Amino acid sequence: MSSLDQARATQLRNIETKTGRTLEQLRALIKGSGLAKHGELRSWAMEQLGLGYGDANALVHLALASDGQSAAEAGGLGIDEVLAGIYSDKKAALRPVHDALMGEIERFGDFEIAPKKGYVSLRRKKQFAMIGPGSATRVDLGLNMKDVAPTARLLAEKPGGMCQYKVKLGSPAEVDAELVAWIRRAYDSAG
């Protein structure tokens, strides 16, 4: 079993503990909710079961028997094709920011790139970063790390979200030593 599979199994066991229900009971609750769309089911699980975003998301993927990957990835597209879709049209000018981030992150060592519909998730044993366009003029870098004081640049996110912090980037020049140190901290804590 890969380390990612082990992490998923641990997350599902923790969900059972948090909710006091088995996975089969949770599946039945989700299927009986009357909802069909993934996002609606995730919100329902957060509200009705008291789960955070990540746990609710994992539970819905389990209930729907999906693997959590984007439709593009499921269609057999490679990472370059997925990125070409993410950084197209008005967002094409943001690709150099993404590439600058990845150039620095690739120096750290091994990690998994999980393409999603509008961003990429970067994982070791757990997700440490998310990279994708936040608008037509900026790339948002989400970071998972603890015990770091937010700054005007390192913005704290709401508890229970997919990342604890976000940095908004408008140019490759903003991929500096301070930012790389934050990413490295997130990378190290995920491994």
Query: Each residue of 119-136: pLDDT tens digit?
Result: 999 999 899 999 999 999
Asked if residue 4 lies in contact with residue 12, where contact means CB atoms within 8 angstroms, the answer is no
pTM for the full model?
0.64
**Per-residue confidence (pLDDT) for residue 78, from 0 to 100:** 66
**Per-residue confidence (pLDDT) for residue 74, from 0 to 100:** 36
Report how far residue 27's alpha carbon sits from residue 20's, in angstroms, rounded to the nearest whole number.
13
**Per-residue confidence (pLDDT) for residue 4, from 0 to 100:** 55
**Per-residue confidence (pLDDT) for residue 140, from 0 to 100:** 97
Residue 46, both tokens: 């957060």
**Per-residue confidence (pLDDT) for residue 145, from 0 to 100:** 94
Q: Which residues contact 89 (CB under 8 A, 6 or more apart)?
A: none
Tell me the per-residue pLDDT of 72-107, one tens digit each, with 9 for 90 and over.
433 455 677 788 889 999 999 999 999 999 999 999
How far CA 10 is from CA of 13, 74, 88, 133, in Å, comes to 5, 24, 37, 31
**Per-residue confidence (pLDDT) for residue 11, from 0 to 100:** 85
Asked if residue 175 lies in contact with residue 104, where contact means CB atoms within 8 angstroms, the answer is yes
Q: Which residues contact 176 (CB under 8 A, 6 or more apart)?
A: none
Q: Comparing 52-56, 152-156, 160-164, which segment has the lowest mean pLDDT?
A: 52-56
